[in-house]
Structure 1
Amino acid sequence: MFVAMLVLLALSLAPPSPLMSGTGWDKSNHALAFAVLAVLGAWAWPGRALAVLAGLLAYGGLIEVLQSFTAHRFAEWGDLLADGVGLLLGQALVPWLGRGNSP
């Protein structure tokens, strides 16, 4: 999970590049990334869903703050909202994926 978080941080702070793959829409990129983190977090800490989701949402906020200090990225409330939507979607998938617990 921490490796995924570090990769997400690196991608979030790197200059945009046409070589970067994604979903084609910034907000869905955020939602997908945080859905994956929610699933990984649920698997890593079963039964601690609220703490994991709160921590990951705070991590999304930290990324937005860090982006505001770069010349090529900027912070957006909409990105943080997309992170939250992704977290909820990821948590909803956990019971169907067979590992971890939902809140």
Structure 2
Amino acid sequence: MLALLVLSLMPASISAPSTGWDKSNHTLGFAALAFFAHWARPARTPVMLFGLLGYGALIEVLQSLTPDRLAEWSDLWADGVGLLIGAVLASTVQRLAVVRSS
């Protein structure tokens, strides 16, 4: 979470790791958060996803306060898509692990 916050708030002029498209950066970052959140507390995944979406909204608010960044609704949508992808992927991996262990 801290890494995403730093990458989201650092000046755009500084070279940072990127997929090459801002929206895919958001999707990938939040998919990773959702994946790990699911593995940390599978029974609480819906609550954690809602909290992580709130975290994405907070990042957008903080970006609006910086001189180099812009807050965009489309970034929050990309965060939400990433959260869904990460949660589905984590759930699928978990089910496959259970099937393999049986």
User: Structure 2 matches for 1:41-52, cutoff 5 A?
Assistant: 41-52=37-48
Q: 1:64 — aligned with what?
A: 60
Deviations 1:4-45 (A, max 9, x none): x01110110001246312111000000000000000111111
Separation (CA, whole Å) in 2 of partners of 1:79 and 1:26: 8
1:77 aligns with 2:64: no
Larger Rg: 2
Separation (CA, whole Å) in 1 of partners of 2:74 and 2:50: 17
Q: 2:26 — aligned with what?
A: 30
Contact 2:31 2:83 in 1 (8 A): yes
* Unaligned 5+ runs, structure 1: none
Separation (CA, whole Å) in 2 of partners of 1:43 and 1:95: 9
Identity within the alignment, %: 59
Separation (CA, whole Å) in 2 of partners of 1:94 and 1:45: 11
Number of residue pairs the alignment of both structures matches:
95
Whose helix fraction is larger, Structure 1's or Structure 2's? 2
- Please list every run of at least 4 consecutive aligned residues from structure 1 whose deviation after the TM superposition is greater than 3 angstroms: none
Q: TM-score scaled to structure 1, two decimals?
A: 0.87
Distance 1:97 1:17, change over 3 A: farther
Pairwise CA distance, 1:95: 2.4
SS at 2:2 equivalent: helix
* Unaligned 5+ runs, structure 2: 96-102
Contact 2:63 2:69 in 1 (8 A): yes
